[in-house]
């Protein structure tokens, strides 16, 4: 490998590092980065950082990995910066550690000054990797990445009253009298009632049509993590027909649950009739009570073979009875994405939040959104 001395050399070497940790860096972006370095020079670190971030980073979730790679790579460059003409070529090593591997890497600390070693854990890389790019082995590892997700619907005040530590407009006469008797007849302490908090029901509607094939299997693992958490969660699969899969996903064993759900859903990777599916959901479950004051999450790319007017009408019906209606679209992260699909365009006006769902990191943000009051 030639010495990393010129803007072009640095652009190529740094691009290789980013590709090695999972970022998609086309050759054209590397060329643009090299031109930017020629224009800004290598003396100002801030200018170099933004030149690379503007030309090499295509997705927001890649910024974390980019920042780490930049810090390590250019820290080594600073240590070597006093030499105008390095005599030894620079070697770049990208190491992916298993999560069980100890921080003590033995001889890692004895590496040569001419070697840049970047270490990343498997979990960190997979957290930001697009589900569509997962290998079969990585997809099997997906349940382990989602075990820490705690999908809990936002709390709400129920009609049931319970003891309150603060003064409210609802006095607890019985407890107040009892404390007065214990105090010898002196009303020293007053007691009050307050509504007891209850978790809102969470309803997950997963599109399992052919267009969602790259994402549906990973997102089904996310739905299983929610249902197996034993909170108030209901799950449905949407394709050419609506299928309730809550019971099939209650097993804590991911393999058992996913196999049962796969057998239950007869139209996996088939067509899409989102409008008809939502009409069936509204008529049989949603408007009648399952979705009322609940948090409803639709996981779909919005591609629909049915009537978009019907989809818009059913989304409006659903939105009227829900506490919050969230649409999760894995394609939203795509550079230049616009909701041009007829189904997505018809549904969007009735959605409270429109978010990404292409990676574990995106699902972590969705989990936080679901828990908001």
Do residues 97 and 125 lie in contact, with contact meaning Cβ atoms separated by under 8 Å? Answer: no
Domains of the chain: 7-128 (no CATH), 146-152+200-371 (3.40.50.410), 159-198 (no CATH)
Q: What is the pLDDT of residue 73?
A: 82
Per-residue model confidence as pLDDT tens digits over 141-158: 887 788 777 766 666 556
Average pLDDT over residues 345-370: 92
Q: What is the pLDDT of residue 77?
A: 59
Q: What is the pLDDT of residue 301?
A: 93
Per-residue model confidence as pLDDT tens digits over 317-345: 999 999 999 999 999 988 778 888 888 99
- Six token digits for residue 274: 């989102």
Q: What is the pLDDT of residue 237?
A: 96
In angstroms, the CA 6 to CA 71 distance is: 19
Per-residue model confidence as pLDDT tens digits over 176-222: 778 877 777 777 778 777 776 778 889 999 999 999 998 999 999 99
Do residues 132 and 358 lie in contact, with contact meaning Cβ atoms separated by under 8 Å? Answer: yes
CA atoms within 13 A on the CB side of 135: 4
Beta-bridge partners for 297: 204, 326
Q: What is the pLDDT of residue 46?
A: 87
Do residues 332 and 59 lie in contact, with contact meaning Cβ atoms separated by under 8 Å? Answer: no
Q: What is the pLDDT of residue 192?
A: 79
Q: Which of 31-40, 77-86, 132-141, 351-360 has the lowest mean pLDDT?
A: 77-86
Burial readout 193-226 (b: 16 or more C-beta within 10 A, e: otherwise): bbeeeebbbbbbbbbbbebbebbbbbbbbbbbbb
* Nearest CA among 316, 330, 337, 326 for reference residue 359: 330
In angstroms, the CA 133 to CA 7 distance is: 31
- Six token digits for residue 281: 């959901």
Q: What is the pLDDT of residue 253?
A: 87
pLDDT at 159 over 50: yes
Q: What is the pLDDT of residue 97?
A: 54
Do residues 278 and 248 lie in contact, with contact meaning Cβ atoms separated by under 8 Å? Answer: no
Question: Residue 134 contacts by C-beta under 8 Å, 6 or more apart in sequence?
Answer: 126, 142, 218
pTM of the model: 0.66
Q: What is the pLDDT of residue 42?
A: 80
In angstroms, the CA 342 to CA 254 distance is: 35
Helix, strand or coil for residue 62? helix
């Amino acid at each position: 490998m030639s010495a990393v001395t010129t803007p072009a050399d640095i652009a190529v070497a740094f691009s290789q590092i980013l590709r090695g940790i999972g970022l998609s860096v086309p050759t054209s972006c590397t060329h643009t980065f090299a031109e930017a370095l020629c224009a800004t020079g290598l003396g100002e670190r801030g200018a170099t950082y933004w030149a690379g971030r503007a030309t090499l980073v295509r997705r927001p979730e890649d910024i974390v990995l980019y920042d780490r790679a930049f810090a390590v790579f250019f820290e080594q460059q600073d240590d070597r910066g006093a030499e105008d003409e390095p005599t030894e070529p620079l070697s770049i090593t990208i190491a992916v550690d298993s999560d069980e591997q100890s921080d003590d890497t033995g001889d890692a600390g004895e590496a040569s000054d001419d070697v840049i070693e970047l270490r990343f854990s498997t979990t960190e890389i997979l957290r930001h990797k697009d589900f569509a790019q997962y290998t079969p082995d990585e997809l099997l590892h997906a349940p382990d990445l989602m075990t820490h997700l705690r999908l809990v619907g936002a709390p709400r005040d129920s009609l049931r009253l319970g003891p309150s530590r603060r003064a409210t407009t609802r006095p607890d006469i019985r407890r107040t009298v009892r404390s007065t008797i214990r105090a010898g007849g002196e009303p020293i302490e007053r007691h009050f009632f307050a509504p007891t908090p209850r978790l809102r029901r969470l309803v997950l509607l997963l599109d399992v049509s052919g267009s969602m094939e790259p994402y549906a299997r990973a997102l089904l693992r996310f739905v299983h993590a929610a249902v197996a958490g034993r909170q108030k969660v209901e799950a449905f699969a949407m394709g050419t027909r609506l299928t309730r899969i809550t019971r099939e996903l209650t097993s804590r064993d991911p393999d058992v649950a996913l196999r049962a759900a796969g057998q239950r859903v007869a139209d996996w990777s088939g067509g899409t009739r989102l409008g008809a599916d939502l009409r069936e959901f509204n008529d049989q479950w949603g408007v009648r009570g399952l979705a009322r004051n609940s948090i409803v999450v639709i996981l779909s790319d919005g591609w629909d073979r049915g009537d978009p007017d019907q989809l818009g009408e059913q989304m409006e019906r659903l939105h009227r009875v829900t506490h919050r209606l969230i649409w999760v679209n894995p394609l939203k992260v795509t550079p230049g994405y616009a909701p041009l699909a007829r189904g997505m365009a018809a549904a969007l006006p009735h959605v409270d939040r429109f978010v990404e769902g292409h990676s574990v990191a995106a699902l972590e943000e969705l989990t936080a959104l679901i828990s908001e009051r």
